[in-house]
Structure 1
């Protein structure tokens, strides 16, 4: 496991800790192997910020791009006993053909003190597009539960603007205006017109693969939060990427067990509902989901992946001062994940038999 060392002046560390909810960046140095980089650092996340083990956002300063990235995330994965659910989710999305951030576990030190095992995650931004040889295009984050592709909030109140719930990561205000037009279209076209027009603005196949990925991993927040929209400048179609998938594979974001059939296999945002109301897209989704259940989301495929991942983590667990779990505990947690895969896939297959 790669060692990351952050050196930060105590006065800047005090500034970070003065208000942990601020996103203000402070200067630091990051050492990876023999290479030293000037960076900017801040805390990140919501639930994790008031925990002992915090997550970090790191921006490269000098040089501004390292290994194709200008920004990386170091996720504490504190609530997840396995520290692996995010990675397992991203890797599954990548496997089924959805643009997803790559990730790897690292051992983090700050000012000489070991902070434990972290998951380094790529930032979904213009640099990721360049790294993957994809056309440039605006990237918009869904940052709260108002990003539900609806005219209404979760509380059924009319939105004051249709871009509520979204934050522009890369692009211009015109891109947010186009997003509002897209959301208006989703909500106002007749079924006949929606079926004709949607494929002109949305990569439907890619979107339905993303829906299938969220459904399989059962990310409760995934349909109205925790995703990024990318508009491919070559195709002029919206594509979608997952983000923050730690509350998955049988547990919620608090680390509690979640019933295998808690999230419906058809999802629950407005765009998904409109697509799956139409026979053409129902069949397309059914084919995609059936293929994933046969070739990707199976115990036969996932068990060796999970075993290998856990074995890379085990030797470093004793170095993490914030976790109380041990190698035996994550072996026990395998049973939770394996049981979830079997029950979730069986539930989805049963539902598909009546899905016409």
Structure 2
């Protein structure tokens, strides 16, 4: 190890053994979906990991781009704002509820990755203001009331990606909000949420659009307000249209073929070959069938959204 080295401009990479995901593809495909829908997300790849001078084979790992200043510059054109990694606390199913005025509540949950030596007030007063704004904003006017703090349309896209990919441990996870970074732009109040660790995605082919939205202050307001709910459902249809071309299934098949032989001889994996193969078969089935399932779910919930989209597609095709 030599201090100061970088790899293609990256000062660090993150290794994930994917022991929560027998297919080893969930994280990679989810991040790819975010980027396809215009949401900056860490780049992913698979590696064979060798350890020590004897180059002992330690198996296949998912390698992820670190959410760092390098990532911020590449995706947002700046790196001098405030970056936080969210740390969910045990038995704390937080979903943007206002915990009160005590800044101490935020300290263990929002770990600073930049400006680490700033005062507690400088670090956390703006985060508290964001949470308070989410709670105070009337659901009928989220965009204008939150415009100084959060882009609601971008958030809706992130929400739609996670629902389409059937993520159970994300913005509206089964244990509250989880697996994201918060970045506040330099000299502004506006923040963005950056996805992280998506290996609990692709959980269910049938996840409904409303899954767990009632358990988060912001997503409940989005779901309960027709114009935002319809925007969210329309975004789900956008994703379904994109995936229907077959690119996600093709990418899943490509990655499976790329890593299969190395996974088969992985000495440390907790999964059998059958586990790996069956999990990948489901991933490809998910990519193939999930778009139509989402369409029918949207159609049953909001036929006006579905029919309006269908009419628009017919008009463009003429």
| Deviation sequence 1:290-327 (CA, Å, 0-9, x none) | 1111113x472211101100111023124421126566
The TM-score normalised by the length of structure 1 is 0.71
Q: How many residues in Structure 1 have an aligned counterpart in Structure 2?
A: 285
| 1:163/1:204 CA distance change after superposition, 3 Å | farther
8 Å contact from structure 1 (residues 314, 327) kept in 2: no
8 Å contact from structure 1 (residues 220, 263) kept in 2: no
2:224 aligned residue? 277
Q: RCO (CA 8 Å, sep 6+): is it higher in 1 or 2? A: 2
SS in 1 for 2:239: helix
| 1:339/1:150 CA distance change after superposition, 3 Å | same
Pairing 1:260–2:234 present: no
1:348 aligned residue? 294
| 1:96/1:322 CA distance change after superposition, 3 Å | same
SS in 1 for 2:147: helix
8 Å contact from structure 1 (residues 85, 246) kept in 2: yes
Pairing 1:291–2:244 present: no
Distance 2:209 2:232 in 1: 16
1:1-356 superposed matches below 5 A? 29=1, 38=2, 62-63=3-4, 65-111=6-52, 112=54, 113-132=56-75, 134-136=77-79, 137-144=81-88, 145=92, 147-151=94-98, 161=105, 165-171=109-115, 172=118, 173=120, 174-191=122-139, 194-223=142-171, 224-233=177-186, 236-250=189-203, 258=204, 260-261=206-207, 264-265=210-211, 267=213, 268-296=215-243, 298=244, 300-323=246-269, 325=271, 329-341=275-287, 344-353=290-299, 354-355=301-302
Distance 2:210 2:157 in 1: 16
Unaligned runs of 5+ in 1: 1-28, 30-37, 39-61, 251-257
SS in 2 for 1:132: helix
8 Å contact from structure 1 (residues 146, 165) kept in 2: no
Distance 2:72 2:282 in 1: 35
Instruction: Answer 1 or 2: which has greater strand percent.
Output: 1
Unaligned runs of 5+ in 2: 172-176, 306-318
Distance 1:349 1:204 in 2: 23
| 1:285/1:67 CA distance change after superposition, 3 Å | same
